[in-house]
Structure 1
Protein backbone atom coordinates (compact mmCIF):
# COMPACT_ATOMS: atom_id res chain seq x y z
CA UNK A 1 0.00 0.00 0.00
CA UNK A 2 1.36 3.40 -1.02
CA UNK A 3 0.18 6.85 -0.06
CA UNK A 4 0.05 10.02 -2.07
CA UNK A 5 0.02 13.16 0.06
CA UNK A 6 -1.28 16.14 -1.90
CA UNK A 7 -0.54 19.42 -0.11
CA UNK A 8 -1.62 22.81 -1.34
CA UNK A 9 0.95 25.45 -0.37
CA UNK A 10 0.19 27.55 2.70
CA UNK A 11 -1.40 31.00 2.56
CA UNK A 12 0.72 33.57 0.75
CA UNK A 13 0.58 37.33 0.74
CA UNK A 14 -0.55 39.24 -2.29
CA UNK A 15 2.07 40.11 -4.89
CA UNK A 16 3.59 43.53 -4.33
CA UNK A 17 4.39 45.77 -7.29
CA UNK A 18 7.41 44.42 -9.12
CA UNK A 19 7.14 40.93 -7.57
CA UNK A 20 6.11 38.03 -9.77
CA UNK A 21 3.37 35.64 -8.61
CA UNK A 22 6.05 32.92 -8.55
CA UNK A 23 7.95 34.88 -5.88
CA UNK A 24 5.11 35.54 -3.42
CA UNK A 25 6.14 34.58 0.14
CA UNK A 26 3.95 33.06 2.83
CA UNK A 27 2.22 35.44 5.19
CA UNK A 28 2.14 34.96 8.99
CA UNK A 29 -0.96 32.76 8.84
CA UNK A 30 0.65 30.66 6.12
CA UNK A 31 3.80 30.08 8.16
CA UNK A 32 1.78 29.00 11.19
CA UNK A 33 -0.47 26.76 9.07
CA UNK A 34 2.53 25.07 7.40
CA UNK A 35 4.00 24.28 10.80
CA UNK A 36 0.64 23.00 12.08
CA UNK A 37 0.26 20.77 9.02
CA UNK A 38 3.73 19.34 9.65
CA UNK A 39 2.75 18.59 13.25
CA UNK A 40 -0.49 16.95 12.10
CA UNK A 41 1.43 14.81 9.59
CA UNK A 42 3.85 13.67 12.29
CA UNK A 43 1.02 12.91 14.73
CA UNK A 44 -0.79 10.82 12.10
CA UNK A 45 2.39 8.96 11.11
CA UNK A 46 2.30 10.32 7.56
CA UNK A 47 5.86 9.93 6.29
CA UNK A 48 6.61 10.27 2.57
CA UNK A 49 9.62 8.57 1.04
CA UNK A 50 10.02 11.45 -1.41
CA UNK A 51 8.70 15.01 -1.61
CA UNK A 52 8.06 16.71 -4.95
CA UNK A 53 7.82 20.46 -4.41
CA UNK A 54 6.99 23.37 -6.68
CA UNK A 55 9.84 25.82 -7.11
CA UNK A 56 7.52 28.76 -6.34
CA UNK A 57 8.62 30.59 -3.19
CA UNK A 58 5.36 29.97 -1.29
CA UNK A 59 5.65 26.19 -1.91
CA UNK A 60 9.31 26.12 -0.82
CA UNK A 61 8.45 28.06 2.34
CA UNK A 62 5.58 25.65 3.01
CA UNK A 63 8.07 22.81 2.72
CA UNK A 64 10.29 24.50 5.31
CA UNK A 65 7.38 24.76 7.76
CA UNK A 66 6.46 21.10 7.23
CA UNK A 67 10.07 19.90 7.44
CA UNK A 68 10.57 21.65 10.76
CA UNK A 69 7.88 19.40 12.25
CA UNK A 70 7.71 16.19 10.21
CA UNK A 71 9.84 13.77 8.22
CA UNK A 72 9.59 14.62 4.51
CA UNK A 73 12.06 12.17 2.99
CA UNK A 74 14.22 13.20 0.07
CA UNK A 75 13.13 16.40 -1.73
CA UNK A 76 13.08 17.26 -5.44
CA UNK A 77 11.97 20.64 -6.83
CA UNK A 78 10.07 21.11 -10.10
CA UNK A 79 8.96 24.15 -12.07
CA UNK A 80 6.30 21.89 -13.63
CA UNK A 81 4.40 21.90 -10.32
CA UNK A 82 3.84 25.62 -10.91
CA UNK A 83 3.03 25.43 -14.61
CA UNK A 84 1.34 22.07 -15.27
CA UNK A 85 -2.28 21.02 -14.87
CA UNK A 86 -3.52 17.99 -12.88
CA UNK A 87 -2.61 15.67 -15.77
CA UNK A 88 0.96 16.98 -15.65
CA UNK A 89 1.03 16.49 -11.88
CA UNK A 90 -0.08 12.87 -12.30
CA UNK A 91 2.61 12.25 -14.93
CA UNK A 92 5.28 13.57 -12.53
CA UNK A 93 3.88 11.39 -9.73
CA UNK A 94 3.95 8.31 -11.94
CA UNK A 95 7.51 9.15 -13.02
CA UNK A 96 8.67 9.15 -9.38
CA UNK A 97 6.18 6.62 -7.99
CA UNK A 98 8.70 3.81 -7.71
CA UNK A 99 10.23 5.64 -4.71
CA UNK A 100 7.20 4.71 -2.58
CA UNK A 101 4.88 7.16 -0.88
CA UNK A 102 5.07 10.73 -2.18
CA UNK A 103 4.30 14.17 -0.79
CA UNK A 104 3.49 16.69 -3.53
CA UNK A 105 3.49 20.38 -2.59
CA UNK A 106 1.81 22.42 -5.28
CA UNK A 107 -0.98 24.77 -6.25
CA UNK A 108 -4.68 24.98 -6.89
CA UNK A 109 -6.68 24.24 -8.94
CA UNK A 110 -4.31 21.38 -9.79
CA UNK A 111 -4.32 19.88 -6.28
CA UNK A 112 -8.09 19.84 -6.02
CA UNK A 113 -8.53 18.53 -9.56
CA UNK A 114 -5.98 15.77 -9.00
CA UNK A 115 -7.34 14.72 -5.61
CA UNK A 116 -10.87 14.48 -7.02
CA UNK A 117 -9.64 12.57 -10.07
CA UNK A 118 -7.49 9.92 -8.39
CA UNK A 119 -9.73 9.23 -5.39
CA UNK A 120 -12.30 6.79 -6.71
CA UNK A 121 -13.63 6.11 -3.23
CA UNK A 122 -12.86 7.21 0.30
CA UNK A 123 -13.88 7.99 3.83
CA UNK A 124 -17.15 9.93 3.73
CA UNK A 125 -15.92 12.66 6.10
CA UNK A 126 -12.81 13.19 3.95
CA UNK A 127 -14.86 13.23 0.74
CA UNK A 128 -17.27 15.79 2.21
CA UNK A 129 -14.38 18.01 3.35
CA UNK A 130 -12.69 17.83 -0.07
CA UNK A 131 -15.98 18.59 -1.82
CA UNK A 132 -16.04 21.89 0.11
CA UNK A 133 -12.82 22.99 -1.60
CA UNK A 134 -9.06 22.61 -1.18
CA UNK A 135 -7.86 25.41 1.13
CA UNK A 136 -4.28 26.54 1.52
CA UNK A 137 -2.36 24.05 3.71
CA UNK A 138 -5.01 21.43 2.89
CA UNK A 139 -3.63 17.88 2.76
CA UNK A 140 -5.35 15.06 0.90
CA UNK A 141 -4.11 11.57 1.81
CA UNK A 142 -4.85 9.09 -0.98
CA UNK A 143 -4.01 5.41 -0.55
CA UNK A 144 -3.21 3.14 -3.50
CA UNK A 145 -2.99 -0.66 -3.47
CA UNK A 146 -0.40 -0.62 -6.25
CA UNK A 147 2.67 1.57 -6.66
CA UNK A 148 2.25 5.23 -7.47
CA UNK A 149 4.07 4.63 -10.74
CA UNK A 150 0.81 2.95 -11.83
CA UNK A 151 -1.59 5.52 -10.35
CA UNK A 152 -4.51 6.43 -12.59
CA UNK A 153 -7.76 8.27 -12.15
CA UNK A 154 -10.26 6.60 -9.88
CA UNK A 155 -7.86 4.00 -8.43
CA UNK A 156 -7.08 5.68 -5.12
CA UNK A 157 -8.89 5.76 -1.80
CA UNK A 158 -9.22 9.13 -0.03
CA UNK A 159 -8.12 8.18 3.46
CA UNK A 160 -8.09 11.66 5.03
CA UNK A 161 -8.36 15.33 4.23
CA UNK A 162 -6.70 17.63 6.73
CA UNK A 163 -7.16 21.38 6.83
CA UNK A 164 -5.68 23.99 9.17
CA UNK A 165 -9.11 24.78 10.58
CA UNK A 166 -9.81 21.09 11.31
CA UNK A 167 -6.42 20.56 12.95
Structure 2
Protein backbone atom coordinates (compact mmCIF):
# COMPACT_ATOMS: atom_id res chain seq x y z
CA UNK A 1 0.00 0.00 0.00
CA UNK A 2 1.27 3.46 -0.77
CA UNK A 3 0.62 6.66 1.13
CA UNK A 4 -0.13 10.06 -0.37
CA UNK A 5 0.52 13.37 1.36
CA UNK A 6 -0.86 16.65 0.01
CA UNK A 7 0.96 19.73 1.35
CA UNK A 8 -1.09 22.92 0.97
CA UNK A 9 0.05 26.40 1.87
CA UNK A 10 -2.87 28.70 2.69
CA UNK A 11 -4.05 31.08 -0.03
CA UNK A 12 -3.09 34.78 -0.13
CA UNK A 13 -4.07 36.51 3.10
CA UNK A 14 -5.28 40.04 3.71
CA UNK A 15 -2.90 42.43 5.45
CA UNK A 16 -5.35 45.36 5.34
CA UNK A 17 -6.31 45.40 9.04
CA UNK A 18 -3.17 46.08 11.07
CA UNK A 19 -5.13 45.56 14.29
CA UNK A 20 -5.71 41.87 13.62
CA UNK A 21 -3.53 39.25 15.23
CA UNK A 22 -1.69 37.15 12.65
CA UNK A 23 -3.76 34.09 13.59
CA UNK A 24 -6.98 35.98 12.75
CA UNK A 25 -6.02 37.28 9.29
CA UNK A 26 -8.57 36.28 6.61
CA UNK A 27 -7.95 35.63 2.94
CA UNK A 28 -7.54 38.46 0.46
CA UNK A 29 -9.69 38.60 -2.69
CA UNK A 30 -6.91 36.87 -4.64
CA UNK A 31 -6.80 34.07 -2.08
CA UNK A 32 -10.56 33.60 -2.33
CA UNK A 33 -10.17 33.24 -6.12
CA UNK A 34 -7.14 30.93 -5.98
CA UNK A 35 -8.27 28.37 -3.39
CA UNK A 36 -11.22 26.93 -5.38
CA UNK A 37 -9.04 26.66 -8.49
CA UNK A 38 -6.43 24.68 -6.59
CA UNK A 39 -9.16 22.50 -5.08
CA UNK A 40 -10.43 21.73 -8.59
CA UNK A 41 -6.86 20.96 -9.70
CA UNK A 42 -6.50 18.42 -6.87
CA UNK A 43 -9.81 16.80 -7.82
CA UNK A 44 -8.91 16.62 -11.52
CA UNK A 45 -5.66 14.87 -10.62
CA UNK A 46 -7.37 12.35 -8.34
CA UNK A 47 -5.64 13.69 -5.23
CA UNK A 48 -8.60 14.52 -2.98
CA UNK A 49 -7.55 13.67 0.59
CA UNK A 50 -9.50 11.36 2.88
CA UNK A 51 -8.30 13.30 5.93
CA UNK A 52 -7.28 16.95 6.21
CA UNK A 53 -5.19 18.22 9.12
CA UNK A 54 -5.59 21.99 9.01
CA UNK A 55 -4.04 24.77 11.07
CA UNK A 56 -6.70 26.50 13.13
CA UNK A 57 -5.75 29.96 11.78
CA UNK A 58 -8.51 31.82 9.93
CA UNK A 59 -6.68 31.88 6.59
CA UNK A 60 -6.01 28.12 6.55
CA UNK A 61 -9.61 27.34 7.52
CA UNK A 62 -10.87 29.65 4.75
CA UNK A 63 -8.51 28.09 2.21
CA UNK A 64 -9.81 24.62 3.01
CA UNK A 65 -13.44 25.78 3.04
CA UNK A 66 -13.03 27.17 -0.49
CA UNK A 67 -11.22 24.08 -1.82
CA UNK A 68 -13.59 21.51 -0.39
CA UNK A 69 -16.67 22.25 -2.57
CA UNK A 70 -14.57 21.26 -5.59
CA UNK A 71 -14.18 17.71 -4.24
CA UNK A 72 -16.75 14.97 -4.87
CA UNK A 73 -15.79 13.23 -1.62
CA UNK A 74 -15.97 14.95 1.75
CA UNK A 75 -12.83 14.30 3.81
CA UNK A 76 -12.61 14.09 7.55
CA UNK A 77 -11.29 17.46 8.79
CA UNK A 78 -9.32 18.18 11.95
CA UNK A 79 -8.37 21.75 12.85
CA UNK A 80 -5.21 21.66 14.93
CA UNK A 81 -3.61 24.55 16.82
CA UNK A 82 -0.23 22.76 16.71
CA UNK A 83 -0.04 23.30 12.93
CA UNK A 84 -0.03 27.10 13.23
CA UNK A 85 3.50 28.39 12.44
CA UNK A 86 4.81 24.83 12.87
CA UNK A 87 8.28 23.76 11.72
CA UNK A 88 8.57 20.70 9.45
CA UNK A 89 9.20 18.25 12.30
CA UNK A 90 6.02 19.36 14.08
CA UNK A 91 3.97 19.12 10.87
CA UNK A 92 5.25 15.59 10.32
CA UNK A 93 4.47 14.68 13.94
CA UNK A 94 0.80 15.48 13.25
CA UNK A 95 0.69 12.32 11.11
CA UNK A 96 1.56 10.11 14.09
CA UNK A 97 -1.16 7.54 14.60
CA UNK A 98 -3.02 8.47 11.40
CA UNK A 99 -4.39 5.38 9.65
CA UNK A 100 -5.68 7.11 6.52
CA UNK A 101 -3.88 6.56 3.20
CA UNK A 102 -4.43 10.01 1.60
CA UNK A 103 -3.82 12.93 3.96
CA UNK A 104 -3.53 16.68 3.42
CA UNK A 105 -1.82 19.21 5.66
CA UNK A 106 -2.98 22.82 5.31
CA UNK A 107 -0.44 25.07 6.98
CA UNK A 108 1.96 28.00 6.75
CA UNK A 109 5.37 28.92 5.43
CA UNK A 110 8.15 28.48 6.11
CA UNK A 111 7.22 25.10 7.65
CA UNK A 112 5.02 23.67 4.90
CA UNK A 113 7.44 24.62 2.11
CA UNK A 114 10.41 23.25 4.01
CA UNK A 115 8.55 20.01 4.66
CA UNK A 116 7.82 19.65 0.93
CA UNK A 117 11.51 20.14 0.14
CA UNK A 118 12.61 17.79 2.94
CA UNK A 119 10.31 14.96 1.84
CA UNK A 120 10.83 15.20 -1.93
CA UNK A 121 13.27 12.59 -3.21
CA UNK A 122 13.71 14.85 -6.22
CA UNK A 123 12.40 18.41 -6.31
CA UNK A 124 10.19 19.26 -9.27
CA UNK A 125 11.73 21.50 -11.94
CA UNK A 126 9.13 24.18 -11.20
CA UNK A 127 10.87 27.55 -10.55
CA UNK A 128 8.61 28.36 -7.57
CA UNK A 129 8.91 25.08 -5.64
CA UNK A 130 11.59 26.30 -3.25
CA UNK A 131 9.88 29.57 -2.29
CA UNK A 132 6.48 27.85 -1.97
CA UNK A 133 4.14 30.77 -2.70
CA UNK A 134 0.63 31.11 -1.28
CA UNK A 135 -1.74 28.31 -2.27
CA UNK A 136 1.15 26.14 -3.52
CA UNK A 137 0.29 22.43 -3.44
CA UNK A 138 2.63 19.44 -3.52
CA UNK A 139 1.42 15.85 -3.79
CA UNK A 140 3.94 13.32 -2.47
CA UNK A 141 3.67 9.54 -2.73
CA UNK A 142 5.46 7.09 -0.44
CA UNK A 143 6.04 3.35 -0.66
CA UNK A 144 5.17 2.77 2.97
CA UNK A 145 2.43 1.20 5.08
CA UNK A 146 2.62 3.57 8.02
CA UNK A 147 3.17 7.32 8.30
CA UNK A 148 5.87 6.66 10.91
CA UNK A 149 7.86 4.81 8.23
CA UNK A 150 7.91 7.38 5.44
CA UNK A 151 11.22 8.67 4.17
CA UNK A 152 11.67 10.53 0.91
CA UNK A 153 8.70 10.49 -1.43
CA UNK A 154 8.04 10.91 -5.12
CA UNK A 155 6.55 14.26 -6.15
CA UNK A 156 3.45 13.18 -8.07
CA UNK A 157 2.30 16.76 -8.69
CA UNK A 158 3.13 20.36 -7.84
CA UNK A 159 1.29 23.52 -8.84
CA UNK A 160 0.65 27.11 -7.87
CA UNK A 161 -2.38 29.20 -8.84
CA UNK A 162 -0.45 31.04 -11.58
CA UNK A 163 -0.04 27.68 -13.38
CA UNK A 164 -3.79 27.24 -13.82
TM-score norm. by structure 1 comes to 0.89
More helix by share: 1
Instruction: Indicate yes or no: 2:156 matched with 1:159.
Output: yes
Indicate how the Cα distance of structure 1 residues 83 and 136 shifts in structure 2: closer, same or farther if over 3 A, else same.
closer
Residue in structure 2 matched with residue 91 of structure 1 by the alignment = 93
Where 1:68 maps in the other structure, the secondary structure is helix
- Pairs within 5 Å for 1:10-159: 10-14=11-15, 16-70=17-71, 71-96=73-98, 98-121=99-122, 124-125=124-125, 128-131=127-130, 133-153=131-151, 155-159=152-156
Unaligned runs of at least 5 residues, structure 2? none
Structure 1 segments of 4+ aligned residues over 6 angstroms from their partners: none
Task: Note if contact 1:137-1:164 (Cα within 8 Å) is conserved in structure 2.
Answer: yes
On the 8 A contact 2:86/2:108 being kept in 1, the answer is: no
TM-score (norm 2): 0.91
Greater mean alpha carbon deviation, residues 142-151 or residues 61-70: 142-151
- Alignment partner of 2:132: what SS? coil
Runs of 5+ consecutive residues of structure 1 not aligned to the other structure = none
Q: Distance in 2 between matches of 1:100 and 1:143?
A: 10
C-alpha distance in structure 1 between counterparts of 2:18 and 2:118, whole Å? 36
Distance 1:152 1:144 in 2: 6
Please report the RMSD computed on the Cα atoms of aligned residues, expressed in angstroms.
1.7
Instruction: Go from structure 1 to structure 2 and tell me whether the alpha carbon gap of 1:72 and 1:157 turns closer, same or farther (over 3 Å shift).
Output: farther
